[in-house]
Amino acid sequence: MERVLSARESVFLRFKRGDEVAFKFYFDKYYNNIVGFCVQFLHDEDKAKSVAQEAFIKLWLNREKVSKKTGIPAFLYTAAKSKCLNQIRHNKVVSKYKDFKLQEKEQQLNQEVLQALNFDSMNLTELKETIDKAIQDLPERCREVFIKRRIENKKNREIAEELGVSVKAVEANMTRAIKELNIKLAHYLSVFL
């Protein structure tokens, strides 16, 4: 099976040869994910974007060292991980909590989470699919609310306005979404990672 060049492999080879359009292909594919990843640690969309952009620039400059196509997300996440760790260590992250102890605790936990991530051995695609599927399976309203919160980073009030429902209803849907995902994913994730 390995000897045959599929469309994806041919994009990868073009990328290796320095083809800008192929690079753009990977940018489109992974950029939002890398930004999303960084936001979880940096709590700031602009900072997250700039870290993600640096990761892509690093990828382009080191494209010869990437040996297979699955190495691309691994490279990007690894670069983002070390940038995020640096920012946390140098106290550049603004916390969302008022309580100083809570801030410190979160930074410390975040460092532990980042250090526990090893991108070489992980099947990112499979993981992403499992979670995407669980989100897809949520009841419609739940899913809408969840996606608006999680991916679009919207506030409950904004979501309520957009959907023309009460803030309470948004909260209820969010709680339900979290509960359902919890049931579906908790076991899978605990054995998987």
Partner 1 sequence: MDNLIFKYLSNTASEEEVTILFQWVEASSENKKLFIQLKKAWVLTASSKSETDWIKIKNKLQFPEPITQLKGQKHSNKSGKNNMLSIVKPWFRYAVAASIVLLISVFLFINKEGDSSTELQEVSVTNSIIQIGTDKATLTLEDGSNIVLEEGQSYSNANVKSNGEKIIYEKIDNINDVSKIVYNYLTIPRGGQFFVVLEDGTKVWLNSESQLKYPKFFVKGETRRVELVYGEAYFDVSPSTDHEGSLFKVLTGEQEIEVLGTEFNVKAYQDEAYVYTTLVEGKVVLDNKIQKKTLEPSQQSALNKETKAVEISKVNVATEISWRDGFFSFKNKSLKEIAKVLSRWYDVEILFVEKSMENVLFKGVLSKNQDLEEILTIIKNTKFINAYEIKNNAIIIK
Q: Which residue type, as a one-letter code, is found at position 28? A: D
Which of 153, 158, 154 shows the shortest CA–CA distance to 49? 153
Q: How far is the CB of 73 from partner 1 (least distance, A)?
A: 9
Closest to partner 1 by CB, 131 or 169: 131
Residues 33 to 52: which contact partner 1 by CB under 8 A? 33, 35-37, 39-41, 45, 48-49, 52
Using CB under 8 A as the binding rule, whether residue 117 contacts partner 1 is answered as yes
**Stretch 85-114: interaction string toward partner 1, x if CB under 8 A:** -----------xxxx--x--xx--x--xx-
Cβ pair 30, 73 in contact under 8 A: yes
Using CB under 8 A as the binding rule, whether residue 32 contacts partner 1 is answered as yes
Helix (H) or strand (E) holding 92: none
Phi, psi for residue 103 in degrees, rounded to 5? -60, -50
Q: Across the chain, which distance is largest between two alpha carbons, in Å?
A: 57
From 150, 157, 166, 168, residue interacting with partner 1 (rule: CB under 8 A): 150
Cβ pair 103, 95 in contact under 8 A: yes
DSSP state of 160: H
Residues 54 to 73: which contact partner 1 by CB under 8 A? 56-57, 60-61
Closest to partner 1 by CB, 169 or 185: 185
